[in-house]
Amino acid sequence: MRIIQVQTQAEAAGAQRISDMVGEGLRNAGHQVRTVYMYRKTDVYDDDPNADFILLDPPRGMMDLLRAVWGLLRYLRREKPDAVLSYQYYGVAFGTLGARLAGARYIIASQSGEPQKRGLLGLMSLLDHVYGTLGFYHFSVVNSSWTEKQFQRYLPAYRRRLRRIDHGVTSPPQQGERASSRQHFGIPADVFLAVSAGRITRDKNQRALVQAMVLVPDLHVALAGVGPEAAALIDLATELGAADRLHMVGEVPPANIHQFLTAGDVFVFPTRFETFGLAGAEAAILGLPVIATDLPVLREVFQDTSGAPAALFVQTSDGGGIAAAIQAIRANPELRWDLSSAGKQLAARYAPATMCNGYAALLAKP
């Protein structure tokens, strides 16, 4: 089967990691799979032989966005795939439309979060509601019970297309060595290090982790990712007198993310909003104790097979809760062991093969 995956932007982020795993799993099952990105945001997928780009640079305005949409529609008409899997708000909105115009027999939308009500994302959510209600796509995939509940007010015709497939989370091929990982990323070897990975944005709230450095004077922080708040975080660390303890390592390609996580003593996930928490789950499976914002979806995701929490949940409105949690983990080896043990059990719960088999089963149903 010829399958096209539609993503909004090419960068090293959670949604792209999911389509990477799904694509690999479906290729291993004998399908031909390519992923098309509406625009190239970073160079992380430049060497991917299965990746295509509509625009080589991010859109700078509405005209560029229309060019990306038109280019995507032409791409799908030209490729004539048997199936289209779409991700993220724009990918679902325009990938579904393109799939219909291209005559694809199997169309699946993967939801990236709760429906939006304002701005362009609100319009994309409205289109998704229409598509699902009228049957423009066959199935709408959600990755958790929490995400599924966000659609409970949608029309019954839409909800009948919902299918839950939990995200897969990759495990490291082998246990890395902390000293070499720190050397690779330019981080001192003998410090206590909190790591975090994700887009550097207000929603991800890395600011609270930087603030925690004042309350834990010997704490070093390493952030993997790029985004609009990077310069502001550096300015904040400088203002707080902690600039020498903040390590901005930039975008880390998916192949190197486990190497980065291995450098840490603890993973901190201070996000204000989340739909799954892929980076934190990867850290937990690696054995890092995880400190996470107390969100319902994260309490659902970070739970081992016995129901024990695989993260220490705190309030992250500022650095106080994070600092207290870090100190608690450092002072209590038993707590650290419990979190690490529960986190490693997530590997069985979120096996990538299980996720890929779920998508393969949907492709066999319409």
- Structural element, H or E, at residue 262: helix 257-262
Residue 30 in this model has a pLDDT that exceeds 70: yes
- In the chain, what percentage of residues exceed pLDDT 70? 99
Looking at residue 177, its pLDDT comes to 87
What is the torsional sign of CA 351, 354, 357, 361? Answer: negative
| Mean pLDDT, residues 21-31 | 96
User: Residue 250: beta bridge partners?
Assistant: 224
What is the number of other CB atoms lying within 10 angstroms of the CB of residue 282?
27
| Mean pLDDT, residues 102-107 | 97
Q: Specify whether the backbone of 292 is left (phi greater than 0), alpha (psi in -120 to 50) or beta.
A: beta
Looking at residue 108, its pLDDT comes to 98
What's the chain's average pLDDT?
94
Contacts of 79 (CB under 8 A, 6+ apart): 2, 4, 34, 102
Whole-number Å distance between alpha carbons of 282 and 280: 5
- In the chain, what percentage of residues exceed pLDDT 90? 91
Q: Are 39 and 120 in contact (CB under 8 A)?
A: no
Looking at residue 112, its pLDDT comes to 81
Looking at residue 366, its pLDDT comes to 60
Model confidence over 152-198: pLDDT tens digits?
Answer: 999 999 999 999 999 999 988 777 789 999 999 999 999 999 999 99
Confidence label for 56 from pLDDT (cuts 50, 70 and 90): very high
Q: Specify whether the backbone of 37 is left (phi greater than 0), alpha (psi in -120 to 50) or beta.
A: beta
Model confidence over 122-141: pLDDT tens digits?
Answer: 999 999 999 999 999 999 99
Model confidence over 298-328: pLDDT tens digits?
Answer: 999 999 878 889 999 999 888 999 999 999 9
| Mean pLDDT, residues 261-278 | 94
What is the torsional sign of CA 194, 200, 204, 208? Answer: positive
| Mean pLDDT, residues 13-23 | 94
In the chain, which residues fall in CATH 3.40.50.2000? Answer: 2-168+351-363, 178-349
Domain 178-349 belongs in CATH node 3.40.50.300: no
Looking at residue 174, its pLDDT comes to 72
Model confidence over 209-265: pLDDT tens digits?
Answer: 999 999 999 999 999 999 999 999 999 999 999 999 999 999 999 889 999 999 999
3-state helix, strand, coil in the chain (%, to 5): 45, 20, 35
CATH class of 2-168+351-363: alpha beta
Half-sphere exposure of 270 (CA within 13 A, CB side): 28
207 or 255, greater pLDDT: 207
**Three-class SS of 2-45:** EEEEEEEEECCCHHHHHHHHHHHHHHHCCCEEEEEEEEECCCCC
306 or 277, greater pLDDT: 277
Local structure of 194: helix, strand or coil: strand
Q: Are 91 and 68 in contact (CB under 8 A)?
A: no
What is the number of other CB atoms lying within 10 angstroms of the CB of residue 348?
12
